Amino acid sequence: MCQNLSPDQALQPAGQLTVRRCKFLRGCALVATILVAGSPAANQAFSYVAQGEGLPEMDLPRHSGGQASYLGDDSHQARVFAFVKGEHARSTEVLGELAELIREFEGRPVSWALVVSDRHGAAWADSVAAAVPAATVLTDKGDRLYGALGVALSPSVGLGTADKILHAYLPYQKIHYGATIRAHLQYLLGDIDADTLAHTLKPSRDRVTDSAEAGCLRSLKLAGMLIKVGKGDKALIQVENVLGEGPEMAEAYTTLAAVRRLEGDESAAQSAERRAADLAQTAE
């Protein structure tokens, strides 16, 4: 299917870089483009690989020895690869976020690669490996992968699909970064649908609010407690307060009926119950 880029290909100037893709991947790219087009981050991409396009294959030297692909292997349904730069607060922050996510997604078919440029020195690669031991730490010698993708920003995170299509490019965010990466991963793993993904990426502005209606229901609840301990007079004050706020509230008349029954006024209780039933029916 995809071909590995030779070092020469990877080092070609931008615009000449040829990433070989088969027709199947082009089809996948189209579908993925449609899928992500509506996402709020659709205009963000690596310089040379856009969302929905195929990711170039490339093996890089692994910190623990040997070579490995930054895209994991065929068993992975989601491929996370991050670019972090040496001894930098934001990169350190992102390593912390990723370590947490790796723990959270342990046992799931996700590959985790941390790519460090050899510009930043071996000591930096050592500290990355120590900070996130569960990830594959890869050294990008001569910035081959940086150049192939067009990595202008680091820290940044890429997420690839099982078919090695770029699903999301996520440059550093101070706020909501972990939640953003998590949501994309959950989407790739089929845990959430596109609507939930969109809502998580750009949550609506919600507050925990105590509405007037909730306040009325709370007063009626208190009235119910007072009725239980035989304090009909105090319960009546609560009910009257609620009826002052919302005279068309069926629940208030149900509670009023209980108060009247406690007072021994069965006729008034039945009248209140009828009013509650009428209001409930009207509401339906």
Partner 1 sequence: MMMRLAVAGLFFMVLGSVGLAQETAPLQDPNDVFWAHAPFEMGECGICHVANDPAAPGELIAEVNDLCFSCHEIFADMLAEFANVHSPVEDSCTSCHNPHNSRREKLLNLDTINLCNECHDDIVSVATNSPVRHDPVTEGRACLNCHDVHASNVEAMLTGLPFDLCVDCHSDDEMTDESGRPMTNLKSLLADSHMQHGPVDNKDCSACHATHGGENFRMLVSDYPAKFYASYDPDNYELCFGCHETDVFASPENANLTGFRDGDRNLHYLHVNKDRRGRTCRACHEVHAAPQTHMIRDGVPYGSSNWVLQINYTGTEDGGSCAKTCHPTKPYSRRGS
Among 8, 16, 107, 284, binds partner 1 (CB under 8 A): 16
Among 225, 247, 266, 277, binds partner 1 (CB under 8 A): 225
Place of tokens 């030779």: 6
239 by DSSP, 3-state: which?
Answer: helix
Among 20, 33, 47, 191, binds partner 1 (CB under 8 A): 47
- Nearest one of 141, 190, 165, 222 to 51, comparing CA atoms: 165
Confirm or reject binding of residue 274 to partner 1 (CB under 8 A).
no
| Min dist. Cβ of residue 216 to partner 1 (A) | 11
Determine contact, residues 135/113, Cβ cutoff 8 Å: yes
Quick one: which segment of 56-64, 184-192, 228-236, 252-260 binds partner 1 (CB under 8 A)? 228-236
255 by DSSP, 3-state: which?
Answer: helix
Q: How far is CA 234 from CA 61, 69, 107, 228, 260, in A?
A: 77, 73, 58, 11, 12
- Nearest one of 171, 163, 152, 147 to 35, comparing CA atoms: 163
Site for partner 1 in 102-121 (CB under 8 A): 119
Quick one: which segment of 31-39, 64-72, 122-130, 229-237 binds partner 1 (CB under 8 A)? 229-237
Confirm or reject binding of residue 123 to partner 1 (CB under 8 A).
no
Among 8, 74, 106, 210, binds partner 1 (CB under 8 A): 210
| Min dist. Cβ of residue 234 to partner 1 (A) | 5
| Min dist. Cβ of residue 25 to partner 1 (A) | 22
Site for partner 1 in 132-171 (CB under 8 A): 142-144, 146-147, 150, 152-156, 171
- Nearest one of 156, 159, 194 to 173, comparing CA atoms: 156
Among 103, 195, 208, 281, binds partner 1 (CB under 8 A): 208
Question: Which residue's CB is nearer to partner 1, number 28 or number 249?
Answer: 249
Cα-based angle 187, 188, 191 (whole degrees, multiple of 5): 45
Confirm or reject binding of residue 26 to partner 1 (CB under 8 A).
no
Confirm or reject binding of residue 211 to partner 1 (CB under 8 A).
yes
Residues forming beta bridges with residue 115, ordered by sequence position: 83, 138
Among 2, 33, 44, 275, binds partner 1 (CB under 8 A): 44
Outline where 202-263 has alpha helix (H): 212-228, 232-245, 250-263
Confirm or reject binding of residue 92 to partner 1 (CB under 8 A).
no
> What is the C-alpha separation between 275 and 148, in angstroms, rounded?
74
Confirm or reject binding of residue 77 to partner 1 (CB under 8 A).
no
Determine contact, residues 129/64, Cβ cutoff 8 Å: yes
Determine contact, residues 2/25, Cβ cutoff 8 Å: yes
Which residues form the interface with partner 1 (CB under 8 A)?
11, 13-16, 40-41, 43-44, 47, 85, 88-90, 119, 142-144, 146-147, 150, 152-156, 171-176, 178-179, 200, 202-211, 214, 217-219, 221-222, 225-226, 229, 231, 234, 238
